[in-house]
Amino acid sequence: MQSKRPIYLDNNATTQVDPRVLEVAIHYMREEYGNAGSRTHEYGTKAKQAVAKARRIIAEAVKATPNDVIFTSGATESNNLAILGLAPYGLKSGKKHIITSPIEHKSVLEPIEHLEKQGFEVTYLPMDETGVVKAADVRDALRDDTLLVSVMHANNETGMIQPITEVADIIEAHPALLHTDAAQTFGKLIAPLQDPRIDLISISGHKLYAPKGVGCLIARNTNRARKHLTPLVWGGGQEGGLRPGTSPVHLIAALGRSVELAEAEHHERLNQCTLIRDELILSLSKCNPIIHGKGPHRLHNTLCFALPPYDADALILALKDDISISTGSACTSHSFSLSHVLSAMCIDEQHCEMSIRVSWSHNTGIDEISNVKWNMLTNNT
């Protein structure tokens, strides 16, 4: 008899593939397995149509055009293409200034650090315990030679939502391009990403109940953003020449279906995640948690907190048979350094070491959350 598995509360790392999305992926692996680049037969035509449909669905979600959608392997590649792909234009035009925040995902920070070594200047926006960028600081940092402003839509560790609409308004009349890593918000916070001033949007399928290995960069407005991008990989004309290689039709079609479902079920999912969040905060209340990030602007499915005096690793070990959680980003779990996000928020080293992230989905049961005996478990660590 199979033992009961722990409750999965690490959805910001990856989500379970929706069965309806999986059905689409299997269909395009088993039945319609043609190459979307094959123009001479029905199999290729069906594959091409599937890619085109997904491209249209994703574009419509942010009020872009299908030609704005560049399929990639995920948000990490999309972030790299958005940042490194602009470098040649920056060098040619003399625009070598970048504005970003210190709480960005490493797939934003490390490409920017690479450009910094190549002579680009970088302004890192100030950060405090709120965990939220101030749009006024973006305004103060803008220069005539600013090439790019890159501010994530919501932080993957704290869930704090960044004022991307306000940032877009601040730079409305400035020629700088605006990029946002929307891996945690695409299909969840819909309206803000429809702002036409957001030039570049990175998304990842496996954060939205699609398989791992697919995502896209939305380069809105061909005459503004896309024309300045240079590919990172060469060897074909796919994705408008910006991302060569055979299209993974099954993954792209699955991503399109996941976006379609996210839009159709948006309100129900949001309401369910809010109920779960309220139950989690209630169940934690007796433990006197220190919750990171101030104010109401937090994703409905994320909570980052410490339960003094317990170390995060010890707490995770004590809870491992009941719940599956993490200390932060799965992309940096191989390193033992303190969270760069919490450190940037001026949280002291001791509380950084105590902090864990809990992230759920609309499929998480409220009863599962209410049955976690946080107080009892921490007393036994």
What amino acid positions are annotated as catalytic residues? 331
What is the helix (H) or strand (E) element at residue 236, kind and residue range?
none
Distance between CA atoms of residues 30 and 34, nearest Å: 10
Beta strands in the chain (DSSP E): 7-8, 69-72, 97-100, 121-124, 146-150, 177-181, 200-204, 215-219, 290-291, 302-306, 323-324, 355-359
Beta strands in 206-354 (DSSP E): 215-219, 290-291, 302-306, 323-324
The amino acid that residue 175 corresponds to is P
CA distances from 59 to 133, 199, 201, 259 (A): 27, 13, 11, 10
Distance between CA atoms of residues 260 and 12, nearest Å: 20
Q: Is residue 60 within 8 Å of 202, Cβ to Cβ? A: no
By C-alpha distance, which of 12, 3, 7 is closest to 374? 7
By C-alpha distance, which of 77, 27, 20 is closest to 49? 27
Q: Is residue 361 within 8 Å of 11, Cβ to Cβ? A: yes
